[in-house]
Amino acid sequence: MSPPPGVFDDSNVVQYIETSSGGDHVWLPFTSKKLYTNAFIVSPGPPRKILLGYKKRGFGAHLYNGFGGKVEDGESPGQAALRELKEECGVEARLNHCGTLLFVTTGEPEWAFQIELYRADAYSGTLIESEEMRPEWFSAHDDHPLEIPEIPHPSLRPIPYDSMWPDDVHWLPLLLANRPFVGRADFVNDTPGKYNMLRWWFGVLST
């Protein structure tokens, strides 16, 4: 499948390898993008582990995710990622950009979420639970969860893909493998609070 509209518009990347795709719905139209961030801390260990946050309120409530939010006026995505990480779990980190994702939902034909993803191997400060997020460490195996069942570390739960956005299982393994990635997922929101993927495409980059 060729990459979906919107994914390579602002990029000079010339080579990519598709890693997963699916769904047969037409790609949803959108006219503008709203910038968001999402940041993950992956501690090399041992045990290798990833920090996720349980979202207590707002969009994506009751799901685990990285730490992030809207890029405010006058901020770069990198600045917003640092601010959101600090606000949502109290820590600072040297974040590296690792991916860009586009999410479009039926009923929101005007705009798409463009999410800039970041990763860090270490952090400074003390982890705190904020009004928005409750941080929690999970086991971060190198194995691809779609191919090899995860063997949980005795003291850490496996990544809770069943309690995450349905797109995450397609790209979080790429973030864990340190492969720069792009992708898009289109969703239908026909039940309050429930988003199902209509069509998706993810790939890794080689520049």
Query: Which positions lie near ligand LXYW25GO, rule CB under 6 A?
Result: 36-38, 58-60, 65, 68-70, 103, 113, 115, 165, 167-168, 187
Distance of closest approach, residue 24 Cβ to ligand LXYW25GO, in angstroms: 19
Q: Which residue is nearest to ligand LXYW25GO (CB)?
A: 69
The secondary structure of residue 26, as a DSSP letter, is: P
Backbone angles phi, psi at 102, to 5 degrees: -125, 130
d(CA 18, CA 202) in angstroms, rounded, equals 6
What is the bridge-based pairing of β-strands 181-191 and 49-55? Answer: unpaired
Instruction: Supply the minimum distance, in Å, between the C-beta of residue 54 and ligand LXYW25GO.
Output: 13
Q: Least distance in Å: CB of 60 to ligand LXYW25GO?
A: 5
Query: Which of 53, 52, 35 has its CA nearest to residue 43?
Result: 52
Report the nearest approach of ligand LXYW25GO to the CB of residue 155 (Å).
Answer: 25
Query: Closer to ligand LXYW25GO at the Cβ: 112 or 204?
Result: 112
47 or 158: CB nearest ligand LXYW25GO? 158
Q: Among residues 156 and 188, whose Cβ is nearest to ligand LXYW25GO?
A: 188
Coil, strand, or helix at residue 153? Answer: coil
Closest by Cα among 61, 60, 136 to 103: 60
Amino acid letter, residue 157: R
Could you count the other beta carbons within 10 Å of the beta carbon of residue 43? 16
Shortest distance, CB of residue 13 to ligand LXYW25GO, whole angstroms? 21
Phi first, then psi, for residue 174 (nearest 5°) are -70, -40
